[in-house]
Amino acid sequence: MHLADGHKTAFRTHQGLFEFMVMPFGLTNVSSTFQALMNEILKPFIRKFVLVFFDDILVFSSSWAYHLQHVRAVFDVLRANHLALKRSKCSFGKETVAYLGHVIGADVVAMDKNKVAAVEAWPCPRTVKALRGFLGLTGYYRKFVKGYGAVAAPLTALLKKEAFSWTPEAEQAFGALKQALTTAPVLQLPDFTKRFYVDCDASGSGFGAVLHQGDGAVAFFSRAIAPYHAKLPAYERELIGLVKAVKNWRPYLWGRAFTVCMDHYSLKFILDQRLTTIPQHTWVTKLFGYDLTVEYRSGKLNTVADALSRRDEDTPSACALSAPSFELYDTLREEQLAASGNCWFSGLGVLRRMLLGKTCWNSSPPILQCSSRTRCLLGRGEMLSTVLWAASTTEGRSKERRLRNKVASGSHGAATEERESSLVSGICLFP
């Protein structure tokens, strides 16, 4: 700490007032301040032979002679700025080194075995907080796992509000994710003198892509597809998957020529063809500035990217069969038997009120409300039909009045004949 800033860290205890002599990491903005300090003093060396993340300084060299010179240069800068190193936390002259959870070698990068062991011993999450911690640890190594997004999708869905319910599907995804991390492949370090290749594919369940340079994979990319993207045509899904993969690997691809391999032939001319919708223009503009060439590759040859996008894809299942229900028929029949001699007209009045949008709760038992274009008619004997008819029209109401007058005059037989003739042809509907 600077002597003039010591009072800013003062705190009081039972033994008196104390001030920090060195900057503690528990104070606000200390982390960003220390990182800014390291970036400032090591600025001439960063990304040439030095990488620094807070207090982790990685010095890399192409030969032993260069390495000695680079280490001496770093020591001189630290000594000039009054920064000290702890010997027990340092390692020198290693061909492989553990750095930020990875094991970095001359040509490859792998996961830290201690982190993998922690994943293997992780207990089954019983709370959202425990599940979020597990996904946070595994998500740090998602570039090592094929189809990470699809494998972790059942667990990610449990993070929604009031959606945590540990099911057999979640247990299976939990075990599959641990197994995928323990058997993850070793990735190749990128060689920026070679051309990059991006193999990408999209399906109804997700996006998948692989970044490589002709031999081993450099990184994997996988994302579960959003619900509103799943309904889009295959052309737009493939385009969105391409854009997401390229944006994810921007540090590798920006300013360099690279090739994209896809199994959708029309996207081969993506930069020359005419676009028809605004979303297509939006996604294509995100590719401006990249020097890419799109090549068509058959789906059976694009196996890795296709598997990343389709892993754990839901298989079609048989739909439940429905059957018509005749509860309304029984209700009307009971009302007919319980009503008086003019039951037809009382039932017809109830139905007409239903068709006009009025709820008939005064009937016993109650009758459900129907739409204004549906009329239930009682046929001869115990026959019951459901036909399309405009019951709310003037013609329907006038027929009802004529039938009431005929019954009042004693012409019950004529009323029955006219009632039967009033049935119109239509499409039978079942509730």
Answer for the pair 106, 184: CB distance below 8 angstroms, yes or no.
no
pLDDT tens digits, 58-82: 998 888 999 999 999 999 999 999 8
Both tokens assigned to 161:
């509000």
Residue labelled with tokens 């003062």: 10
- Could you tell me which residue, 299 or 288, shows the higher pLDDT? 288
220 vs 198: CA distance, rounded Å: 10
Answer for the pair 275, 281: CB distance below 8 angstroms, yes or no.
yes
63 vs 67: CA distance, rounded Å: 6
Question: Pick from 171, 97, 109: which is nearest to 141 by CA?
Answer: 109
Q: How far is CA 6 from CA 15, 23, 162, 227, 379, in A?
A: 18, 9, 47, 55, 98
110-119, 156-165, 296-305: least confident range: 296-305
Helix (H) or strand (E) run with residue 342 in it: none
Question: What angle separates helix 343-355 from helix 394-408, to the nearest 10 degrees?
Answer: 160
200 vs 240: CA distance, rounded Å: 10
Question: What angle separates helix 113-120 from helix 168-182, to the nearest 10 degrees?
Answer: 160
Residue 393 amino acid letter: T
Helix, coil or strand: residue 367: strand
Edge-first strand order for the sheet with 217-224 is 217-224, 206-212, 196-202, 257-262, 291-296
- Could you tell me which residue, 248 or 323, shows the higher pLDDT? 248
Q: Give how far the C-alpha of residue 34 lies from the chain's centroid of Cα atoms, to the nearest Å.
A: 36
Torsion of CA 374, 375, 380, 383, to 10 degrees: 40
Question: What angle separates helix 327-338 from helix 343-355, to the nearest 10 degrees?
Answer: 140
pLDDT tens digits, 177-191: 888 877 777 677 788
Query: pTM for the whole thing?
Result: 0.48
422 vs 416: CA distance, rounded Å: 10
- Could you tell me which residue, 100 or 192, shows the higher pLDDT? 192
Helix (H) or strand (E) run with residue 68 in it: helix 64-80
pLDDT for the residue numbered 329 = 64
Answer for the pair 142, 109: CB distance below 8 angstroms, yes or no.
no
Question: Pick from 190, 173, 164: which is nearest to 138 by CA?
Answer: 173
Answer for the pair 356, 393: CB distance below 8 angstroms, yes or no.
no
Both tokens assigned to 200:
């990408």
Answer for the pair 332, 384: CB distance below 8 angstroms, yes or no.
yes
Answer for the pair 343, 336: CB distance below 8 angstroms, yes or no.
yes
pLDDT for the residue numbered 301 = 53
pLDDT for the residue numbered 6 = 85
pLDDT for the residue numbered 68 = 93
pLDDT tens digits, 377-403: 444 333 333 333 334 445 555 665 665
Instruction: Report CA Rg, the chain.
Output: 37
- Could you tell me which residue, 102 or 184, shows the higher pLDDT? 102
DSSP state of 8: G
Question: Pick from 286, 289, 299: which is nearest to 234 by CA?
Answer: 299
Both tokens assigned to 90:
């340092």
pLDDT tens digits, 302-330: 554 554 455 444 444 444 444 555 566 67
404 vs 409: CA distance, rounded Å: 9
Question: Pick from 263, 275, 268: which is nearest to 292 by CA?
Answer: 268
Question: Pick from 237, 138, 135: which is nearest to 182 by CA?
Answer: 138
Q: How confident is the model at residue 342 (pLDDT cuts 50, 70, 90)?
A: very low
